[in-house]
Amino acid sequence: MLSIKNLVKIYDDGTEALKDVSFDVDDGEFLIIIGLSGSGKSTLLRCINRLIEPTEGQIIWNGEDVTEADSNHLREVRRQIGMIFQHFNLVKRSSVLKNVLAGRLGYTNPMLSLINRFSQADIEMAYEALRRAGIEDQAHKRADELSGGQQQRVGIARALMQNPKMILADEPVASLDPVLAHTILGYLEKINKEDNITVLCSLHYLDLVQRYATRVIGLRNGKVVYRGSGEDIRKMTDEEFKQIYGEEAERVRVGPDSSEDVDGEKING
């Protein structure tokens, strides 16, 4: 269980990215954070595993305050929290397998990883993760030879290698087309349900939010402006929608398939 309390982040240049953000995430939730670009979604996600140091506030992860953790402890916390990124953040010139194995680094003896050694068990685990992601046959290709959707699966496989209790997904489908977006989010949902891994995901497309979220938090200018369950967001009115995104937002129909009757909204900010 994760609970964020009064989180504030002010960057060195004075930008207030997060202003007193508080919310709780129960285990097994698929929590989606929505908001315009620049509303603080990425900062919020990165504060949770302290890729960005929060300025104030607390992040309580399973009863411990992550913001207080020393570097050894922080690494332990980080390896329980997988992360996937909008631009996949794979090492492009390394093989797919090596990228996936990198997810194991938190468990590997630093001395062994110096000489590029992973245990046989880790390697088997990596193949298993790739098999689950459906890209086992790509294991020995260079990461940048894969398509965007495949690269994101590698990113998820890397996160799964950590045996995470939670996955932070920073706009995982923003670089992908809508069809692929559904596949990737469907895959995340499967992981969420089958492995009972909590997912914290920031998203742009409202139709995707309505389809996958169990809970939704709306951010605007670093403040939480909306909280709701999955049910709430499916019944969301245009007024509420505009409250989160601002007046210029408009609904755009996107879907995995035009025959499918899904109302999609894209936010033009």
Q: How far is the CB of 100 from another protein (least distance, A)?
A: 11
121-153: string of b/e by CB count within 10 Å (b at 16+)? Answer: ebeebbeebbebbebbebbeebbeebeebbbbb
The total of other beta-carbon atoms located within 10 Å of residue 65's CB is: 12
Q: What are phi and psi of 228, to 5 degrees?
A: -165, 165
Name which of 74 and 262 has its Cβ closer to another protein. 74
Listed in sequence order, the DSSP H helices in 68-171 are 71-80, 96-101, 110-114, 120-133, 148-160
Q: How far is the CB of 110 from another protein (least distance, A)?
A: 5
Strand 56-61 and strand 30-34: the pairing is unpaired
The distance of closest approach from Cβ of residue 169 to another protein in the complex, given in angstroms and rounded to an integer, is 12
Residue number, 80 or 119, with CB nearest to another protein = 80
Would you say 183 or 221 has its CB closer to another protein? 221
Binding residues (CB under 8 A) for another protein: these are 46, 49, 51, 75-83, 85, 87-94, 102-108, 110, 113-114, 116, 155, 158, 161-162, 168, 246-248
CB of 49 to another protein, least distance (A): 6
* Strand order, beta sheet including 2-10: 16-25, 2-10, 56-61, 64-65
Q: How far is the CB of 81 from another protein (least distance, A)?
A: 7
CB closer to another protein out of 97 and 254: 97
Would you say 48 or 216 has its CB closer to another protein? 48
- How many CB atoms lie under 10 A from the CB of residue 187? 18
